[in-house]
Amino acid sequence: MFNNHKHLIDIAEYSDSEIMRILETARLFSEVNQRRIKKVPTLKGMTIVNMFNEPSTRTRSSFELAEKRLSADSLNFGGSSTSTVKGESLIDTVETLNAYKIDMIIVRDKHAGAPHIVTQHSPAAVVDAGDGKHMHPTQALLDLYTIWEHKKSFEGLKVGVVGDIAHSRVCGSLIPALKIMGAEVTVVAPQTLLPAVPSVLGADHVSLSLDDVLPELDVMYMLRIQNERLEGAPFPNINEYHRLFGLTRDRERLMKPDAIVCHPGPINRGAELDSYMADHPERSVILEQVYAGICVRMAVLYLLLGGADNGLAS
């Protein structure tokens, strides 16, 4: 338990001070991750199941490394071997995991709301690692961590989120989290990639033009154009998308001098970013986000499972 939180699903249930505590704890774990022996005995004896019911390499690897560096016993359950593929219901799968006597389930599922179902059928703590087009709270936290490292404060920070807002679970957590921390959020996309009511997520502004808003923004959050989710062809082709909504060398002149570029990965070069921006030594913080993912996930697991303090410098 972390304050009154047993699970991490809806970031909007966390206060600004609780989110800050997670980020500060992540900073302590960053120190661990820079040691030669990157491991603390904090969660020794705890069992964490990574239940990934849809393909995921990055998120799962990040959770797995976080678990290992906290000395938890982790079990990967799912992928192509998942029992749900064999027709077993999610509830029956969870009941099976319960019988293993586990402490936490990390849930990735292609169906929105799956982590909530898990909480209703398991005594274990649940962390949402992405459910359908709904939420992805640890992604939001690692994004906040990275932005915080660069901008020091969120108050009044102007963040632009560009791309496939409608199909993005990242937005379902990132935009509410940015709002909780006091930032101002502008979503930018063609109407075909916008959700029906962007303000429900917390977006302050909606723009159908990137160039119109680019000069105002402190943080550019470029969403991946997810080809596998683009049924119904919401734009003519990648080239046109890139021309209208891609962050490119040509557009850099419109950016604030200190604006940074975030991306949840993996990048589609030539779609949402060109290589100049993706690799920009001052602006691109994309690989820092990947690193932050480990630190933030260690912090979340540690706080929710109430790990011992040993090994942590604080």
Partner 1 sequence: MALLLKSARIVDPAAGLDGVGDVLVEDGLIAQVGENLECPGAEVYDLAGKVLVPGLVDMHVHLRDPGYEYKGDIETETRAAARGGFTGVCSMPNTDPVTDNGAVVEYVRSKAASVGHCRVYPAGAMTKGLKGEALSEMGDMVDHGCVAFTDDGRGVQSAGMMRRCMDYGKMFGKVFMSHCQDESLVDAGQVNEGVASTRLGLLGWPAAGEELQIERDIVLAELTGVRYHVQHISTARGVELVRAAKAKGLPVTAEATPHHMFLSEDDITSAYETSLKMNPPLRTKADAEAVTEALLDGTIDVVVTDHAPHAAWEKSREFELAPFGMIGLETSLATVLTNLVATGRMDYATLVERMAIAPRRILGLEQVSIASGSAADITVFDPEESWTVGEDGYVSKASNCGFEGQALTGRATHVFVGGVPTLVDGVVQER
Check residue 85 for interaction with partner 1 (CB under 8 A).
no
Q: How far is the CB of 194 from partner 1 (least distance, A)?
A: 9
CB 25 within 8 A of CB 137: no
Report the C-alpha gap between 210 and 258 in whole angstroms. 18
Nearest to 137 by CA among 309, 304, 297: 297
Check residue 111 for interaction with partner 1 (CB under 8 A).
yes
Report the C-alpha gap between 302 and 22 in whole angstroms. 10
Check residue 232 for interaction with partner 1 (CB under 8 A).
yes
Check residue 114 for interaction with partner 1 (CB under 8 A).
yes
Give, as ranges, the residues between 90 and 109 that touch partner 1 (CB under 8 A): 90-91, 109
CB 103 within 8 A of CB 47: yes
Using a 10 angstrom Cβ sphere, with 0-12 exposed, 13-18 middle and 19 or more buried, the burial of residue 45 is: exposed
Nearer to partner 1, 32 or 129 (CB): 129
Q: How far is the CB of 79 from partner 1 (least distance, A)?
A: 18
Check residue 224 for interaction with partner 1 (CB under 8 A).
no
Check residue 264 for interaction with partner 1 (CB under 8 A).
no
Q: How far is the CB of 139 from partner 1 (least distance, A)?
A: 14
Give every CB contact of residue 233 below 8 A, 6+ residues apart in sequence: none
Structure tokens at 42: 């904090």
Check residue 205 for interaction with partner 1 (CB under 8 A).
no
C-alpha distance from residue 273 to each of 162, 172, 307 (Å): 11, 22, 40
Give, as ranges, the residues between 1 and 40 that touch partner 1 (CB under 8 A): 9-10
Q: Which of 197, 257, 313, 314 binds partner 1 (CB under 8 A)?
A: 197
Nearest to 148 by CA among 285, 244, 245: 285
Q: Which of 1, 200, 208, 308 binds partner 1 (CB under 8 A)?
A: 200
Q: How many CB atoms lie within 10 A of CB 266?
A: 10
Structure tokens at 3: 């304050």
Q: How far is the CB of 112 from partner 1 (least distance, A)?
A: 4
Q: Which of 97, 117, 219, 260 binds partner 1 (CB under 8 A)?
A: 117
Piece in contact with partner 1 (CB under 8 A), picked from 22-30, 58-66, 110-118, 247-255? 110-118
Nearer to partner 1, 169 or 263 (CB): 169
Q: Is 206 helix (H, G, I), strand (E, B) or coil?
A: strand
The angle subtended at Cα 221 by Cα 25 and Cα 303, nearest 5°, is 15
Q: Sketch the per residue contact string, 125 through 164, with partner 1: x for CB under 8 A, - otherwise.
A: ------xxxxx-----------------------------
Nearer to partner 1, 67 or 128 (CB): 128
Q: How far is the CB of 110 from partner 1 (least distance, A)?
A: 8
Using a 10 angstrom Cβ sphere, with 0-12 exposed, 13-18 middle and 19 or more buried, the burial of residue 207 is: middle
Check residue 195 for interaction with partner 1 (CB under 8 A).
yes
CB 144 within 8 A of CB 25: no
Check residue 113 for interaction with partner 1 (CB under 8 A).
yes
What are the residues binding partner 1 (CB under 8 A)?
Answer: 9-10, 89-91, 109, 111-114, 116-117, 120, 131-135, 169, 172, 195-198, 200-201, 232
